[in-house]
Amino acid sequence: MAFDAALDDAELGVARAALAQGRWQAARALLARTGDDWDRRGHRITVLALEPCSAAWAGEWLIAEPDSADAAALLALARVRRALRGKDQPARAREACHRAAALAPADPTPWLGLLMLERALGGQREVVRIFEEVRARYADHHHAHHLMVARLAERRAAAGPDPLHEVYDFAHWAAEQAPADSPLAVLPVVAHAERYRVLAAAGFEPANPAASAHWSGRLARQALGAAFDWWLEWEQDGHPRRLVDLNYLAHAKCCEGRGAEAAALFQRIGDHATPEPWSYPDRDPRAAFREACDRVLGVG
């Protein structure tokens, strides 16, 4: 069965079929009904933008209605899709996204388009900056978080399995920040799946997850047990993960009765500060360690 990007959105399917025939009025009505449901708006515009001729028809719509934020957003994401396929210049796609953002300052969708583009073509700082633009408009944007997980999972693929990889920090941070009923609650699972995809492509894991020990509890415990030993080496060598928040590892070490080892490690790490919000820039890891011990021992 072929995957349908529209999922179960029947209204989107109808508008997409009409757009493919050059009838952009159906997309206009659909997006007007969508309003400021930002997750649904982002999904609907990205699916409409997949149509091969969507940029042309969105351009026709924009000629008819030059001030239409919906037409501008559709044109922007269509150009992003074309740029990612090598059919358009990335600079033109960026310009279209910024034009759409100017027409609707509260809408995260044009910034989602930029994130899609820079997730493939941009540097890390630019990706983080654009992600923060999305979050400033809608903090729980589902698609944007998935793009960030995919991007972060691809960093340092050649290093192999790494239980302290930043994609796990990011996913847990995002899940903790989101409301209890948010779909972002499953982001830590998505992070493991994306990282597995990267490790399999790099040859560290088999293509079939069923043939891997990656998901076993035994391997996870071994990874946690070795993490502190790895940390000492990384901290000495200036490893980029030396600024990670180790609260969850400290908690694991407390549970294993290795508190003195963890305390000595945190003493060496000292305070930390990082530019990424998911790295908890204001948290002292030694204080986090003490909090973890208090929770385990029932203190306070």
* pLDDT range class, residue 256, cuts 50, 70, 90: very low
How far is the C-alpha of 176 from the C-alpha of 218, rounded, in Å? 26
Highest-confidence segment of 35-39, 212-216, 238-242 = 35-39
Is pTM beyond 0.85 here? no
Q: Is residue 145 part of a domain?
A: no
Instruction: Give per-residue pLDDT as tens, 209-234.
Output: 666 665 433 443 444 444 444 444 44
CA-CA-CA-CA torsion sign (182, 183, 189, 191): negative
* pLDDT range class, residue 299, cuts 50, 70, 90: very low
pLDDT at 21 over 70: yes
Residue with tokens 């930029």: 114
Tell me how many domains the chain contains. 3
Q: What is the mean pLDDT of the chain?
A: 78
Give the range among 9-23, 154-168, 212-226 with minimum mean pLDDT.
212-226
Alpha-helical segments (H) within the chain: 10-20, 25-34, 38-48, 54-64, 69-84, 90-103, 109-121, 124-137, 142-153, 166-177, 187-201, 217-236, 247-255, 259-269, 285-297
199 and 240 assigned to the same domain: no
- Residue 268 belongs to domain spanning: 219-300
Q: What is the pLDDT of residue 263?
A: 56
Q: Is residue 197 part of a domain?
A: yes
Average pLDDT over residues 233-247: 41
pLDDT at 55 over 90: yes
Among 87, 114, 138, the domain boundary falls at 138
187 and 289 assigned to the same domain: no
Q: Is residue 213 part of a domain?
A: no
133 and 161 assigned to the same domain: no
Q: Is residue 212 part of a domain?
A: no
* pLDDT range class, residue 287, cuts 50, 70, 90: low
CB burial of 160-175 (b: ≥16 within 10 Å; e: otherwise) equals: eebbbbbbbbbbbbbb
Position with higher pLDDT, 84 vs 240: 84
